Structures are given as C-alpha cells and as structure tokens.
Amino acid sequence: MKNGRATFGSRLSAILVAAGSAVGLGNIWRFPYVAGENGGGAFLLIYIGCILLLGLPVLLAEFAIGRNSRRNSVGAYKSIAEKSKGWSIIGYNSVAASFLILGFYFVVSGWTLEYFITSVTGDIAEYTSSTINAERFDAFMLHPVRPIIYTLIFVLLTHTVIVMGVQKGIERSAKMLMPLLFIILIVLSIRSITLPDGIEGLKFFFRPDFSKVTAGTFLDALGQAFFSLSISLGCMITYASYFKDDTDLRTTALNVTLLDSVVAVLAGTVIFPAVFSAGIAPAAGPSLVFITLPSIFNTMSLGAVWSAIFFLLLVLAALTSTISLHEVLTAYVHEEWHLSRKNAARAATLATALLACVASLSLGIWREYTICGSTLFDALDLLTANIMLPLGGLFTSLFVGWKMNGTVLHDEITNRGKLKFGMYRAFVILLRYVCPLLLLMIFLYNSGLFSL
Ligand code: TRP
C-alpha cells in the first residue's frame, strides 16, 4: 500500500501486468492479417520502427504520468496539470475510449471462448472447409443468444478478476496467465513451422515485399503499434499508478515493448506457416483466425487439441487486456465518483456488458441497423482506433513534452536521480515534435481529411 493505494509486489509483476495489457487480440488476431495485407516482412520492419521511435517514448511518458500522480487516468491529468484543467479532457477521452473499446473487444473475446469450447467438445472437427466455416461463423453470429452468452461469460470473468483487487486479482492473474501464454505460443509456433511447407510461410512473413508498401502502410503500422502497446488511452497510466517507487520505468517500458513485439512476431510464425502449409492465400483478412484456421487444424493429427490450445491462447491474451481496459473504468469511477471499488467495478461491468450485447447483436439479428453505413460493432472500432486513439496519443505527447514540468518528469524516470537516462533529450524531442506530428497525420488520414 502507498498513500492508501495498492501497489504491485515486485518489478517482475509490473512488467507482467503491463505486458498483459499490451499482449492481446491486437497481437494474435490483428497483427498477422495486417502484416499479411501489407507486404509481410516490409510491414514488420516499419512496425518495429514505429514501436521503437514512437511507441516506446509514449509508453514511458504514460508510465511517468501514472506513477507520478498515483491516480486514475482523469485524476492523473487533473493533478499534474494543476490549474489548467482543460488537459483532463485527455483523461476523459481515455475513459470513454476504454468503454467503447470494451464494447467490441468483449464480443471478439466471446468468439474466442466459443471456439475454444467447440474445440474442447470436438465439434470443431466439422469445420472442414472455408465455405463451411464461413457459414457456421455467420450462423453463430445470427444466433440470437449464443454469442451474447459467450460475451457475458467473458465480461463476468473480467469482473471477477477486477473485484478481487489490484494485487489479488490483476497482479496474480497476470503472473499466472502470462507465462502460460508464452509457453503455448512457443509450442504452437514449433508445431506450425514444422508442418510441410511451413518454411514457405516463414519466408512470406519475413521476406520484405516493398511493392505492397504505400504511405497508408506507415499509418497502419503506427496505429497498430499504439493499439498493441495499449498506449494513448490511459491504460498504462492507470497501471503505472500501482507501480512501486523503485520500479525502473525505463527497463519496464523496454521489456513490455519487447515482449509485446515478440508475441506479435511469434503469432505470425504460428499463423503463416499453417496457412501456407494448407495452400491458402495469406491475406485472408480479419476472418483468418475464425474461418481459415479451423479447417487447417482439421488437416493435422490431433486437430481438435491444437485448435483448443490455439483458442485458449486467444482467450488468455484477450482476458489480460479486457482486465486492463476495465481497470481504467473501475479506477476512474472509484476515485472520481467516490464509490467503493466493488460498486465502481459493478457499474463498469454493467455498462460495458450492455454495450457489448448491443454490439454483438449489431452483427447478428440487428445487422440491418447501421450508423453512417457501419454496424455498431464496426463503428466502435473505427471511432476508437481512427479518432480517439490518435488524438489521445497526440495530446498525451504534447502534455508530457510541453506541459509537464521537466524536472518532475526527469526525476520520475530516473527515480529521483538514482538511475541514468542518457536519452532524455531525444525522448523529449520525440514527444514534443515527432510524435504529435505523426499522430496528427494519422488522425487526419484516418478521418478522411487528408490523403496521401
Ligand atoms: N493492447 C491490447 C491488444 O493488443 C488492447 C488494449 C488493451 C488496448 N488496453 C488498451 C488498446 C488501451 C488501446 C488502448 O489487443
């Protein structure tokens, strides 16, 4: 406890908890297909550039805001900005975005759970071709209750961890789930690479095809990097508010970034060799995981077992991320509205469950109702990823680069001068000029106001 606030027990816990937030469906479900569509290895190179040049500084900046203020994401901006209350809009943007992201993230998490159960019962054996799988997936989404039940089970799992508290819930679950996730990922990667023609998939994934690279690729890579690291939207501020005073923010940020990127790359080494081995076109879009992969598992011996392990991986990755998004809401409601932590968690759970149910139905029986041509599910994704995330990142970098007191920032990152931070100047330049400019470009590009 620190000023009546819980803290994570060890330095390793800080890394695992933050990595738990970062590693999610973004790494395993989204990264491989975005890479597949954008020239494989070429995308990977650009992505790594974005992570190092922009992701890492913003992550470190969020850690500094969180630990310095020891408050939720709205309270953090209020306390550091002192009299300039306008900055707390960044915090409100993050709370609103976390709520909206959970609205669609819980739905996809529910699908992963459904596919896990279907694999465990062995019913996945009937998913033998992409056509059949697409029909089944569609029938599942059109079912009036099944997708909702799985979504709600996922909400309940997340809620259970949150009400157990910062140490007994969030920290303990990350310490159990993250190592398991890594083991599963390595086992699956070896299985996939050793399939016949698996090496072809690796070649595709790692060989840079620059002919597919356009200006849009850079913006996709940057957006993916920010989403994958859980930055811009207060998640890492909230988690860092539970870090200990002697946690080294520099190495924690570096480790989290490394783990997150390693997981994304390993996910590619699971998916592409399997896809190539089955002779399927790699750029199959978002349905890659739910439509293409099940039939590939069925061509392997012990297919249902591999399928169960793979979907368990997705469930674990999704869960540690939904926990972090939920904690943004819970910490905010608890500290700013002065409700007990339990009641704050209940309010957040109720609100997100409701939104997620409607988002799920918007892909099923309510699919004819759209908002500006997209379903509610897609609208939530587009609004958060294309508008709220780049704007959040833009103002977070401006806040730390220009508004936050330089001495306070430097003291926070060096643990009051105990650690060295030779890159401090570069860090500030990136936050002041480079990040805001690029994030502004992403925002304008994504909102259609600017095209390349
Ligand atoms: N990073 C997670 C993923 O890759 C998703 C996530 C969790 C997130 N918390 C976030 C994204 C905060 C943006 C902001 O799946």
CATH number for the domain harbouring residue 155: 1.10.4160
Q: Is residue 414 part of a domain?
A: yes
Contact between residue 252 and residue 59 where contact means Cβ atoms under 8 Å apart: no
Which pLDDT tens digit goes with each residue over 131-152?
899 999 999 999 999 999 999 9
Does ligand 1 lie within 6 Å of residue 26's CB atom? Answer: yes
Give the structural domain span for 261.
Answer: 11-446
Does ligand 1 lie within 6 Å of residue 267's CB atom? Answer: no
Which pLDDT tens digit goes with each residue over 7-64?
999 999 999 999 999 999 999 999 998 998 888 899 999 999 999 999 999 999 999 9
Q: Is residue 451 part of a domain?
A: no
Place of tokens 């392997």: 300
Which pLDDT tens digit goes with each residue over 279-288?
887 656 777 8
Q: Is residue 1 part of a domain?
A: no
Q: Is residue 4 part of a domain?
A: no
Contact between residue 167 and residue 8 where contact means Cβ atoms under 8 Å apart: yes
- Counting from 1 in the atom list of ligand 1, the atom nearest the Cα of 232 is 14
Q: What is the pLDDT of residue 237?
A: 98
Q: What is the pLDDT of residue 360?
A: 97
Q: Is residue 189 part of a domain?
A: yes
Give the distance (Å) from ligand 1 centre to CA of residue 380: 14
For the residues 162-177, what does the mean pLDDT come to?
A: 97
For the residues 215-224, what does the mean pLDDT come to?
A: 90
Does ligand 1 lie within 6 Å of residue 322's CB atom? Answer: no
Give the distance (Å) from ligand 1 centre to CA of residue 24: 7
Q: How many domains does the chain have?
A: 1
Q: What is the pLDDT of residue 452?
A: 65
What is the reported pTM? 0.96
- Counting from 1 in the atom list of ligand 1, the atom nearest the Cα of 25 is 15
Q: Is residue 179 part of a domain?
A: yes
In terms of Cα–Cα distance, which of 67, 20, 107 is closest to 412? Answer: 67
pLDDT band at 77 (very low <50, low <70, confident <90, very high): very high
Q: Is residue 6 part of a domain?
A: no
DSSP for residue 97: H
Give the distance (Å) from ligand 1 centre to CA of residue 320: 10
Q: Is residue 48 part of a domain?
A: yes
Contact between residue 234 and residue 335 where contact means Cβ atoms under 8 Å apart: no
Mean pLDDT of the chain: 94
Q: Which two tokens stand for residue 264?
A: 């994304």
pLDDT at 329 over 90: yes
Q: 28 vs 24, 32, 158, 173, 262, CA distance in Å?
A: 7, 7, 19, 20, 11
